[in-house]
Amino acid sequence: MTSTEPQDHPVVPTTRGPVRGERRTDGSLRFLGIPYAQPPVGELRFAAPVPPRPWTEVLDATAYGPTAQRRPFSEVTTIPEPTIPGESVLNLNVFTPGLAPAAALPVLVWIHGGGFVAGCSASPWYDGAAFNRDGVIVVSIGYRLGIEGFLHLPDAPDNRGVRDWIAALEWVRDNIASFGGDPAKVTVAGQSAGGGAVQTLLATPSARGLFRAAISASGAVARPQDRATAEAVSRALTARTGVPATAAALRSLSDERLLELQDALGEAGPDGGDALPPLSLAPFADGELVPLPVPQALPDAETPLLLGFTAHEFAAPAEDGGDADTEPEDELLGLLGALGLNEHGAGRFLTEHPGANGGDAITDWLFRAPALALAEARAERERPTWLYQFDWSGSAPGRAGQAYHCIDLPFAFDLLDAEGAEAALGAAPPQALADAVHGAWVAFVRDLDPGTDWPPYHHGRATMRWTAEPRTEHDPLRTVRDIWHA
Note the pLDDT tens digit of each residue in 59-99. Answer: 999 999 999 999 876 665 679 999 999 999 999 999 999 99
- Residue type (1 letter), 51: P
DSSP letter at 226?
A: B
* DSSP annotation string for 322-339: SPPPP--HHHHHHHHHHT
Q: What is the reported pLDDT for 74?
A: 62
Could you tell me the residue range of the domain that residue 342 belongs to?
A: 311-484
Note the pLDDT tens digit of each residue in 345-386. Answer: 999 999 998 888 999 999 999 999 999 999 999 999 999 999
Count of structural domains, the chain = 1
Note the pLDDT tens digit of each residue in 153-166. Answer: 999 999 999 999 99
Query: Is 220 part of a structural domain of the chain?
Result: no
Please say if 469 is a catalytic residue.
no
Distance CA 310, CA 41 (A): 37
Distance CA 380, CA 392 (A): 30
Note the pLDDT tens digit of each residue in 303-350. Answer: 999 999 999 999 877 654 445 556 788 899 999 999 999 999 999 999
CATH code for the domain in which residue 405 is found = 3.40.50.1820
Query: Is 377 part of a structural domain of the chain?
Result: yes
Q: Which of 88, 121, 178, 192 is catalytic?
A: 192
On whether the pTM is more than 0.75, the answer is yes
Please say if 405 is a catalytic residue.
yes
Query: Is 343 part of a structural domain of the chain?
Result: yes
Q: Which of 81, 148, 170, 313 is catalytic?
A: 313
SS3 for 253-286, per residue? CCHHHHHHHHHHHCCCCCCCCCCCCCCCCCCCEC
Distance CA 359, CA 367 (A): 11
Please say if 313 is a catalytic residue.
yes
Beta carbons within 8 Å of 478's beta carbon, 6+ residues apart:
461
Distance CA 227, CA 479 (A): 32
Q: Which of 152, 353, 405, 438 is catalytic?
A: 405
Query: Is 428 part of a structural domain of the chain?
Result: yes
Distance CA 387, CA 371 (A): 8
Query: Is 431 part of a structural domain of the chain?
Result: yes
Q: Is there a cis peptide before residue 224, judged by omega within 30 degrees of 0? A: yes
Q: Is there a cis peptide before residue 299, judged by omega within 30 degrees of 0? A: no
